[in-house]
Amino acid sequence: MKKYVVALLSAAVVGLGPTAIAQQSVPEIPFDADINFLKLPAGMNLGEASGIAVNSKGDIAVFTRSNSASGPAYGATASQILLFDKTGKFLREVGKGLYAWSYAHTVRFDKDDNLWAVDKGSDMIVRFNPQDRVTMVFGRKKEASDKAEPWERVTPPRAPVPGQFRQPTDVAWDTEGNIYISDGYINSRVAKFTRDGDWVTSMGEAGGGKLGNLNTPHTIANDSKGNIYVGDRGNRRIQVI
């Protein structure tokens, strides 16, 4: 099946002035505020939360830039997954002391309740099964002994390398289970893998203006029809695959 990359939101608002947009009714989303909903163990702090996800049972995974372990990619680790039940009761920490932890970015559950963590600092994406065992790993962080430091943005950008990520940001899946990783701050592309983790292709090129050009794809999501939506942050638009 042939795929196309097209502009989505940028085209949708063409011809709509500020008045027309303001007149569109936006439904209010009801909610209850509870600042004490998440119940952490004594002495544990939440820190800066970068991602949150909910599985089919209502369990809540919070990806925070707290410190659960030392051991640098470039300094102290700033990644920790905390799991709570649907009432906010703390259940456990997932992947404590994992090699992939460096700087938390995004956490997701797939349709099978596997937990996926995208770590911007280590350039790694990790899948945990519902029993918290690591079942798939993408990417590899730099060796700390080799004077590792964060990727530097250069012009023109370095060419992407299959299987290697440079500050990835998010993950999504199509209806066939294929895996899409937005990659990210440096490579500015989307990497596609089969459901088994085999490399398929790299989509998009660093740049602005043209369809298919990406500038810091910062988030990625899917719908029930298999479309993949890419939040093209640097170009201020959403593109769909």
Give the pTM. Answer: 0.84
Whole-angstrom Cα distance, residue 31 to residue 121?
34
Q: What is the pLDDT of residues 46-65, one digit of tens each?
A: 888 999 999 999 999 999 99
Q: What is the pLDDT of residues 87-98, one digit of tens each?
A: 999 999 999 989
Only one residue has tokens 């004594």, namely: 42
pLDDT at 159: 74
pLDDT at 70: 52
Contacts 24+ apart (CB under 8 A), 96-100: 96/68, 96/69, 97/68, 97/69, 97/71, 98/126, 98/134, 99/141, 100/124, 100/126, 100/137, 100/141
pLDDT at 2: 44
Kindly list the structural domains of the chain, giving each domain's residue range(s) and its CATH number in brackets, ordered by start: 6-11+48-141+162-240 (2.120.10.30)
**Are the CB atoms for 119 and 102 separated by under 8 Å?**
yes
Whole-angstrom Cα distance, residue 215 to residue 208?
6
Whole-angstrom Cα distance, residue 100 to residue 144?
12
| pLDDT, mean of each 10-residue run, the chain (241 residues) | 49 49 78 92 88 98 78 66 97 93 95 98 96 97 67 71 88 97 93 96 89 94 94 95 88
**Are the CB atoms for 3 and 240 separated by under 8 Å?**
no
115 backbone φψ class: left, alpha, beta (φ>0; ψ -120 to 50): beta
pLDDT at 13: 46
